[in-house]
Amino acid sequence: MAAFPTNAGAVTPEWLAPRLCAGGEGAIVALDFVPIGTGQVGDTARFTLTWDRPGAGPQTIAAKFASADLTSRSTAAMFGLYAREVNFYRTLAGAIDVRTPHVHASELSADGAEFVLLFEDLGPARGGNQLDGCSIEDARHGVIQAAALHASTYGAPWLADAAWLQPVPGIVERMSELYPQAHALFRERYDGMLAPELMAICDALNADIAGYYGRNPALRAVCHGDFRLDNMLFDVCGGREPIAVVDWQTAGADCPLKDLGYFLGCGIGSAVRRPHEDELIDLYCAQMSRRGVPLTRAMIWDRYRLGALHGVATAVFSAAFVVRTERGDANFLSMARNSCELALDHDSIGALKTCLETGSC
């Protein structure tokens, strides 16, 4: 049994108040919660609090817990996702120029299968939605946040030493073993729903999946790993700030162009990407250069092409190994379609083959 509440219904005023009350004084006399978000790996709720005196603590907070679904929770534990998110907030969130929610408290079980994070409430805010897409203005804000994350950590010597950023031992081999099973399920589920030329991208990646997962990128920074609209809030705190980035359970040390290819591919969709792709890539390079990491489009192009495949792999693998929902099915189809369209536009499979042949990843 974890020594902390592992779901919203288990949170008590007595446990919560000392973690929120400045100076340790004040009591919560009533609390209510409602589920928020669309995540399938963790469960999030917004709490409304009534204190025994005005100003004793925040009136609302957000809290995140391990998923109630056994499949999703087991997948998260296998990949170390909960430990990764807790450690991101404990060790890195305050040291980078990325807008993330302030954390009041965090707890993690010894086996990494249960956790709780208590966040500031960023509402009212507009949640990004994979299925609805976004405006070009939202896309620009996302790209600026990506550059802020990557430039803050680009080539940092501690990347190789931070234990929480490293893959779980043996996980690359395990994913390579499981992926063909996920691909077969994905292909069956979305047969006739994904255009044949796009499903061919999925097939080609499956054929080279061990090489894809086994790459050793030469350029490294902290990557979000799931940098898409569902993990972004816009017009946060009633419009006082343009964007915040949440859901850091897939953070890791990797090629930063993985996040950019993923966001412009599976994230914003082709309707926004195609007419604005050059502008958004140039914006990323300009923001990185302004922050002390000089980049040009020519320098990043092949790695950007390769980054699109992260969206394909994530959609295929997740479809098999997280809880199945109607929205999830639509979400993974959207992610795969958008990513495959970028991959087809720019021959991402060709970029992967070159990477594996030359080692220039």
Q: How do beta strands 60-66 and 115-120 pair?
A: antiparallel
Nearest in space to 144 (alpha carbons), one of 40, 321, 25, 287: 287
| CB burial of residue 188 (10 Å; 0-12, 13-18, 19+) | exposed
pTM, full prediction: 0.94
Are 266 and 260 in contact by the 8 Å Cβ rule? The answer is no
pLDDT tens, the chain, 361 aa long: 578 999 999 999 999 999 997 666 789 999 999 999 877 788 999 999 999 988 899 999 999 999 998 888 888 888 899 999 999 999 999 999 999 999 999 999 998 999 999 999 999 999 999 999 999 999 999 999 999 999 999 999 999 999 999 998 999 999 999 999 999 999 999 999 999 999 999 999 999 999 999 999 999 999 999 999 999 999 999 999 999 999 999 999 999 999 999 999 999 999 999 999 999 999 999 999 999 999 999 999 999 999 999 999 999 999 988 878 899 899 999 999 999 999 999 999 999 999 999 998 8
pLDDT at 94: 94
CATH assignment, 126-358: 3.90.1200
Are 325 and 179 in contact by the 8 Å Cβ rule? The answer is no
Q: Where are the domains of the chain?
A: 8-120, 126-358
The three-class DSSP label of residue 143 is helix
Whether 126-358 and 8-120 are alike in CATH topology: the answer is: no
The three-class DSSP label of residue 78 is helix
Instruction: Return the structure tokens found at 26.
Output: 């004040």
Q: Which CATH architecture has domain 8-120?
A: 2-Layer Sandwich (3.30)
